[in-house]
């Protein structure tokens, strides 16, 4: 996802009400599957600290990483630019892309579609950078069916109690929305325990230590760009 759109879309993804059940695209012999540059798929509960870690990574390696530009059917907000903040398309166009299996993952929120296309990831790879996809649990499940050449990273809070405290300290949640986030977090934590789901799990207790671990995890990928 594009870096300027990351914060909003993370909120969108964590509040998804209807994840697409259409079969995701398969990569039998595409550039994405064959590329030597792995896409970084990073996931974790809201409040686990993904945004902070990714912000640090982008700051330290601005020429190595990039977020893809997502597609959406919602109307542009003031100042948003088509092709930069999002690819703005109609419902009909989006649904045609779903039928043609052009998305790695897609979802509907509040009546509008959002999705990450194969082409958007390919565009990042063409620039010689590593594409980062910040997705929730359903996005991970969908992408895993595609055969995308990716490295899967899960950012985990030190405990569900610590996560709850972080969310409460934000003072942005109602009790209802907080409980939904905690339910989603528990689901994500359970999924992360399944064998071979994630290549790396980073426990974000202390930010500096978690960031050091993230850098170690992606160092091999950065070296391949040289």
What are the catalytic residues? 77, 170, 181
Please report how the helices 137-144 and 175-192 are oriented relative to each other, as an axis angle in degrees rounded to 10: 30
Residue with tokens 């419902």: 91
Which of these, 19, 68, 18, 14, lies nearest to 39 by C-alpha position? 68
Contact 123, 130 (CB under 8 A): no
Q: Measured at the alpha carbon of residue 134, what is the angle toward residues 213 and 115, in degrees to the nearest 5? A: 165
Contact 186, 160 (CB under 8 A): yes
Rounded to a whole number of angstroms, the CA Rg of the chain reads 17
Using DSSP's 3-state secondary structure scheme, residue 86 falls into strand
Using DSSP's 3-state secondary structure scheme, residue 87 falls into strand
The half-sphere exposure of 164 on its side-chain side, counting CA atoms within 13 A, is: 10
Contact 199, 140 (CB under 8 A): no
Residue with tokens 């109307």: 75
């Amino acid at each position: 996802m594009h870096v300027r759109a990351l914060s909003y879309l993370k909120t969108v993804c964590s509040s998804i009400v209807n994840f697409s059940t259409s079969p995701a695209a398969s990569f039998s012999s595409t550039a994405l599957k064959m590329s030597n540059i792995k896409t970084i798929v990073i996931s974790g509960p809201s409040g686990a600290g993904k945004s902070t870690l990714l912000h640090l990574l982008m700051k330290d390696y601005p020429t190595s990483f990039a977020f893809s530009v997502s597609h959406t059917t919602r109307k542009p907000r003031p100042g948003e630019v088509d092709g930069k903040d999002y690819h703005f398309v109609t419902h009909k166009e989006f649904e045609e892309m779903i039928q043609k299996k052009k998305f790695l993952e897609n979802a509907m929120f509040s009546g509008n579609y959002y999705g990450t296309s194969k082409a958007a990831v390919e565009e990042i790879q063409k620039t010689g950078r590593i594409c980062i996809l910040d997705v929730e649990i359903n996005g991970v499940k969908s992408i895993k069916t595609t055969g995308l050449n990716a490295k899967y990273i899960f950012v985990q809070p030190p405990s569900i109690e610590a996560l709850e405290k972080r969310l409460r300290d934000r003072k942005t949640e109602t009790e209802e929305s907080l409980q939904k986030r905690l339910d989603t977090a528990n689901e994500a934590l359970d999924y992360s325990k399944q064998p071979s789901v994630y290549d790396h799990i980073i426990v974000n207790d202390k930010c500096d230590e978690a960031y050091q671990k993230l850098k170690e995890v992606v160092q091999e990928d950065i070296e391949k760009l040289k």
